[in-house]
Amino acid sequence: MRTQLRLFICVLVVLSAWEPGAAQSGQIRVARLKYGGGGDWYANPTSVPRLIAEARARAGLDLASQPDIVEPGSPRLFEYAVVFVTGHGRIAFDEAERRNLRRYLLSGGFLHVDDNYGLDEYFRPEVRRLFPDKPLVELPYSHPIYHCFYDFPRGLPKIHEHHGGPPHGYAIIHQGRVVLFYSFNTDLNDGWEAPEVHKDPPEVREQAIRMGVNILVYALTH
């Protein structure tokens, strides 16, 4: 069953190769967002490369092995199928950056924002400015992002304890598709990093990786 799913994913990715992230080499490119405001956009440096390696091995995604770095106002933003955001502090976009990000997302791009503790209070006002016409909504546990490759019947896994309570997955939805996925109170990036960095138990890291694979599979097939 998993082999059939891998083949189906590969076909869907090929059929959508015209969308953002379709490099001439044929490999799918992803990036980390170098945002302004003073927050540490560069946090968890090993997380996305390790997630890429796992997604290539598990889901057969033809991803470039290393993420690039891109700024929100850059025309290069449109070269990437998926852009990752993390950090602990303030995140801020100027008006030109918001226009560019909004255009990128509405034309087929995908942004994953992972609160690494301290990002939430700055990110929510920014997303309201980015999409004043679209609410940030919590996704139900039945949403495909939780079931498209691995099954998460209770939604996001809890990886690192920062706040009390369960994790939450929020989204901006455009024409039925999630274009921005915000993982709050879970810290997936911690679980994607090398084992010695945070010393999370293997089963916790496995849950983080599985959820990360789901995010990539969803972004590339919807």
* Domains held by the chain: number: 1
The residue range of the domain holding 58 is 2-221
CATH number at 93 reads: 3.40.50.12140
Return the ∠ at Cα 60 (arms to 57 and 66), rounded to 5°: 65
| H-run or E-run covering 123 | helix 120-130
Q: What is the Cα Rg of the chain in Å?
A: 16
pLDDT in tens, the chain (222 residues): 455 455 445 444 544 443 565 554 689 999 999 999 999 999 999 999 999 999 999 999 999 999 999 999 999 999 999 999 999 989 999 999 999 999 999 999 999 999 988 899 999 999 999 999 999 999 999 999 999 999 999 999 999 877 778 999 999 999 999 999 999 999 999 999 988 888 889 999 999 999 999 999 999 999
